[in-house]
């Protein structure tokens, strides 16, 4: 059963800046970087020269927050609540951006079952963003070991 989850809206673009996306949505991101910004660890190349990777595209992320779940969908509900009145803004970004909602659920067992209510699925669909979900399973005993 999912006991904890988190959800985020992630927007990427090769043509818009963080500032433009923020202005269009009217929401400050939790994390962001513009095309060309340094990111990640500095690493040595085969030649021995240490290089800093740079972002290939703009990255903008809004988090709903993390917390204990009573129904495995509370983080998605919180994200929908943040974005409900931004549907048109999101739609206007899509010609220049990719908009994705990322959900991660953390299970208390090796079966990570979850349910998203139909009404929530309707609201997620109305936002027009693809949903990428992952259930993270515990390393507990499997059914074969009982």
pLDDT tens column, 74-127 = 899 999 999 999 999 999 999 999 999 999 988 888 877 788 899 999 999 999
49 vs 11, more confident: 11
Tell me the sheet residues that pair with 131: 101
Q: Are 13 and 36 in contact (CB under 8 A)?
A: no
Nearest of 30, 36, 35 to residue 10 by alpha carbon: 30
Q: Give pLDDT, residue 48.
A: 80
pLDDT level of residue 146 (50, 70, 90 thresholds): very low
pLDDT level of residue 141 (50, 70, 90 thresholds): very low
Residue 38 has what DSSP assignment? B
Single pTM value for the model: 0.83
**% of the chain residues with pLDDT over 90:** 56
101 vs 39, more confident: 101
Average of pLDDT values for 42-48? 79
Q: How many CB atoms lie within 10 A of CB 64?
A: 23
Q: Give pLDDT, residue 66.
A: 58
- CA distance to 101, 108, 110, per residue, from 64 (Å): 11, 21, 25
Averaged pLDDT score across all residues of the chain:
87
User: Does residue 47 have a pLDDT over 70?
Assistant: yes
Nearest of 146, 2, 138, 137 to residue 74 by alpha carbon: 2
The pairs formed by 75-81 with CB atoms below 8 angstroms and a separation of 24 or more are 75/5, 75/6, 75/7, 75/103, 76/5, 76/7, 76/101, 76/103, 76/116, 76/120, 76/124, 77/120, 78/7, 79/7, 79/8, 79/9, 80/120, 80/123, 80/124, 80/127
């Amino acid at each position: 059963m999912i006991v904890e989850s988190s959800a985020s809206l992630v927007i990427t673009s090769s043509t818009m800046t963080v500032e433009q996306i923020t202005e269009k949505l009217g929401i400050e991101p939790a994390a962001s970087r513009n095309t060309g910004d340094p990111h990640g660890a500095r690493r040595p190349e085969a030649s021995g020269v240490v290089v800093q990777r740079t972002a290939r595209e703009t990255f903008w992320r809004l988090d709903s927050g993390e917390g204990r779940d009573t129904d495995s969908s509370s983080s998605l509900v919180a994200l929908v609540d943040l974005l409900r009145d931004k549907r048109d803004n999101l739609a206007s970004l899509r010609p220049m951006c990719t908009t994705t909602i990322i959900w991660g659920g953390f299970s208390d067992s090796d079966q990570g079952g979850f349910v998203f209510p139909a009404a929530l699925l309707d609201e997620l669909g109305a936002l027009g963003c693809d949903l990428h979900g992952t259930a993270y399973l515990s390393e507990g005993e499997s059914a074969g070991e009982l």
